Amino acid sequence: MEILAILIPVSLFLGGIGLAAFFWAMKTKQFDDPEGDAQRILTKEFDDKPRQ
């Protein structure tokens, strides 16, 4: 049962990373234009260096 002392914190930590990622996505408006973002990856623009 000692293994629980490791497994539970690990599972909570991993879940926490997911939650933090979700918070970041909401704060930086990643869901504002889902359709446009899906199309944008198809263009060759800014493939070599990111947009300034």
Which residues have CB under 8 Å from 30's CB, separation 6+?
Answer: 37
Candidate list 10, 24, 30, 39; residue touching another protein; CB under 8 A: 39
* 3 state SS of 52: coil
Which residues have CB under 8 Å from 37's CB, separation 6+?
Answer: 30
Residues 3-22 touching another protein, rule: CB under 8 A, are 4, 8, 11-12, 15, 18-19, 22
Interface positions with another protein (CB under 8 A): 1, 4, 8, 11-12, 15, 18-19, 22-23, 26, 31-36, 39-40, 42-43, 45
